[in-house]
Amino acid sequence: MKEGTDRERIARLEERVAALEDLLSRASTRLAILEDVEEIKKLQRIYGYYVDKALWQKVIDLFSDDCTIEISGRGVYRGRRGAEIVFRRLVGQLICQDREEGLSHGQLHNHFQLQGVVNVAPDGRTARGRWRAFIQVAVLGKMAHWAEGPYEMEYTKQAGRWRISRLAWFPTYYTPFEAGWAKTGLPMPGPSQEFPPDLPPTWEYEAYPGTFVPPFHFPHPVTGEE
């Protein structure tokens, strides 16, 4: 009788140990994902701070070597060379008109990163994110405008560090500061003739007063609808 009772007790203990091991494994996986989410959020926010101050080399160093970048219907730019063109030429020329790197007196380029949603793949090697950028651009005495729109991002982990592997930004609007979005919506720039993209624009759309909903990378959290 006692031998049977001991076997039963041991079996129950083994079941409890197996359940605890499974719980620990799932908790460890969950913790790793949460840590990755926080690292990616930090990466994206730092990207915004570097863009603020036109620190283009620091921005470019956040990207993977095989990255793709698509901004404002300009088309797709590939790799680090493409990143150099986008940030130093296409974006940089709008604000840093007299220098390669950094802002000078009378230049403003605020780039707020808001509403971040980050989803890490089960293997922990890639992730996707959606963010909203609210932008203030000005050159004192010459121009000032507002811009706003969502990012759809992809990230990859290389040598233990997260990098941006794909950036797509969709302007909701561009508008002069003086008029505001109640009165004026400026057109998107389109592909550059001086610095042509590697690929044409992926999406055909117009900014405000036009409307466009950039595809969400995530399903509806309640219905599961894509």
| pLDDT above 90 (res 95) | no
What residues form DSSP beta bridges with 140? none
> Which of 60-74, 82-96, 184-198, 205-219 bottoms out in mean pLDDT, i.e. has the lowest?
82-96
Q: Say how many C-beta atoms besides its own lie within 10 A of residue 86's C-beta.
A: 25
197: left (phi > 0), else alpha (psi -120 to 50), else beta? beta
Task: Please tell me the predicted confidence (pLDDT) of residue 13.
Answer: 79
Per the CB < 8 A criterion, the answer to whether 47 and 69 are in contact is: no
How does pLDDT run across 142-182, given as a tens digit for each residue?
A: 999 999 999 999 999 999 999 999 999 999 999 999 999 99
Task: Please tell me the predicted confidence (pLDDT) of residue 2.
Answer: 59
Q: Respond yes or no on whether the N-terminal peptide bond of residue 176 is cis (omega within 30° of 0).
A: no
Per the CB < 8 A criterion, the answer to whether 131 and 155 are in contact is: no
Say if domain 2-176 classifies as CATH 3.10.450.50: yes
Provide mean pLDDT across the span 31-39: 93
For 77, 137, 153, 183, the CA distances from 144, given in Å and listed in that order, are 27, 6, 27, 15
Q: What is the mean pLDDT of the chain?
A: 91
What residues form DSSP beta bridges with 152? 130, 168
For 61, 136, 166, 186, the CA distances from 113, given in Å and listed in that order, are 18, 12, 16, 22
Tokens 């915004």, located at residue:
48
